[in-house]
Amino acid sequence: MKYGIFATMQQRDLSLSSQQIFRNAVEQTRLADQLGYETAWYPEHHFSNYSLCPSPLMMAAHCAGVTDRIRLGAAVLILPLYNPVRLLAEIGMVDDMSDGRLEIGIGSGYQKFEFDRFGVDISTNKEVTLEMLDVLEQGLSEEQFEYHGEHIKQPMTAISARSVQKPYPPIWIATFDPKMMSRAVTAGHSIFVTGWLGNHKRLGGLRQTIDEAHAAVGRSSDDTRVGLLRFAFASDSKAEVERYVESARYQQRLGNAIKFRRQSSFDGYVLKEEPYEDELPWEKMMRNIPVGDPETCAERIVNDIRALRPDHIAINTQIGDMDQKVMLKSMETWMTRVAPLVEKELAKDQVASRTPAAA
């Protein structure tokens, strides 16, 4: 199993400046590179403290210069908010600067508050995203291209910044929508989903949706890489584990708030934390997600893997007001103590699958 980190760059502690939060994300990325994590992922959000990162590509470009091996991913680029040809050039440039370590995650966006402030109509976000995906595929793989869609009109154009990876960097589509999943499958792209605060049974439902999307286009579900974004935290300290789960709940509350933009504080970008309808009870959150000592984390993440069958698991590492040193320690614990236990258990599954059933 391959692991990644997902640096949300959340600002719950207002005493931390945006500069310090960005520096913490860079420090996490450098440690992840040293520990053998596969990918460091960066989100895109605007106008709130849910995440201070407005540009995953800028983060990836910077971190390319301070790391050696780790892949660097956008999770995700909100395609309707971009000028298509500028995005093509920036993707090519970042892939060049990282020596071909860029991963492209894309999404259609869901925050009307953000779209309004960019002057973009959110009602057509999925249609625009599909056209933008067409443009990405053509513009990154062809020497010259033109595009004439309902929303995007592009005359014959050549992008001068050409990506190292051919025909283009790996593309991940973040979606729960079966049609978008089928589009990913048809083009040979990967699928990225999130487990939120649900348990492995919820992930089993997502696996069914993914399998149905493959069946709809006559493809085998084994041909598509699946990534899982997961709250996960390993520590022998009960207090640290509880703090992480509390921070995960905080993130979920802010996530619910930004979807509808119901409230913010006096300064306009800091969202108020408020419980929301159908919020999970504390005890259930503690049981659902892979948190606790290494043995507990391993047992739960194995259940997740068996349910979803992902190829990559990205761990939320920069949420709420988690202490940076505590989070760095957990990142190390995950790779040195949790990952070996997981691999040992998965190896048993492989042996069992090759063993003929008793007559």
Condensed to tens digits (0 to 9), the pLDDT of residues 256-300 reads 888 776 656 556 899 988 898 899 999 999 999 999 999 999 999
Longest Cα–Cα distance of the chain, Å, equals: 71
Residue 253 maps to a domain: yes
Give the number of other Cβ atoms within 10 Å of residue 48's Cβ.
21
For 123-145, give one letter per residue: b (16+ CB within 10 A) or e: eebbebbbbbbbbbbbbbeeeeb
Look at residue 176 and tell me whether its pLDDT is greater than 50. Answer: yes
Residue 162 maps to a domain: yes
* Residue type at position 9: M
Residue 359 maps to a domain: no
Phi and psi at residue 146, to the nearest 5°: -140, 155
Name which of 14-23, 63-72, 87-96, 107-116 the model is least confident about.
Answer: 107-116
For 329-334, the CB contacts below 8 A with 24+ separation are 329/235, 330/233, 330/234, 330/235, 330/240, 330/244, 331/5, 331/28, 331/31, 331/32, 331/35, 331/37, 332/31, 332/35, 333/234, 333/235, 333/294, 334/3, 334/232, 334/234, 334/297
Which residues are paired to 73 by β-bridges?
Answer: 41, 103
User: What's the pLDDT score for residue 354?
Assistant: 77
More confident residue, 11 or 276: 11
Q: List the domain range (segments joined by +) for residue 74.
A: 2-351
**CATH number for 298:** 3.20.20.30
CA-nearest of 13, 53, 5, 49 to 322 is: 13
Residue 180 maps to a domain: yes
Mean pLDDT of 318-335: 98
Residue 123 maps to a domain: yes
Look at residue 161 and tell me whether its pLDDT is greater than 60. Answer: yes
Residue recorded with tokens 């283009």: 168
User: What's the pLDDT score for residue 262?
Assistant: 63
Look at residue 357 and tell me whether its pLDDT is greater than 80. Answer: no
pLDDT in tens, 142-158: 999 999 999 999 999 99
Length of the chain: 359
Residue 356 maps to a domain: no
Alpha helices in 36-142 (DSSP H): 56-64, 84-97, 112-117, 125-141
Residue 90 maps to a domain: yes
Total number of domains in the chain:
1
Share of the chain above pLDDT 90, in %: 89
Residue 358 maps to a domain: no
Mean pLDDT of 318-330: 98
User: What's the pLDDT score for residue 359?
Assistant: 44
User: What's the pLDDT score for residue 351?
Assistant: 86
User: Sign of the CA dihedral 34, 37, 43, 48?
Assistant: negative
Contact criterion met (CB below 8 Å) for 216 and 182? yes
Mapping DSSP onto H, E and C, the string for 205-266 reads HHHHHHHHHHHHCCCCHHHCCEEEEECCEECCCHHHHHHHHHHHHHHHHHHHHHHHCCCCCC
- Token digits of residue 116: 């309004």
* Residue type at position 193: V
Mean pLDDT of 184-196: 96
Q: How far is CA 199 from the centre of its chain?
A: 18
Give the DSSP H/E element, type plus range, for residue 107: strand 102-107
User: What's the pLDDT score for residue 290?
Assistant: 98
DSSP-derived letter for residue 78 is E
Expressed in percent and rounded to 5, the helix, strand and coil fractions of the chain are 50, 15, 35
Q: Which residues, including other chains, have CB under 8 Å from residue 172's CB and lie 6 or more apart?
A: 73, 75, 76, 103, 104, 105, 106, 189, 190, 191, 192, 225, 227
Which residues are paired to 230 by β-bridges?
Answer: 315
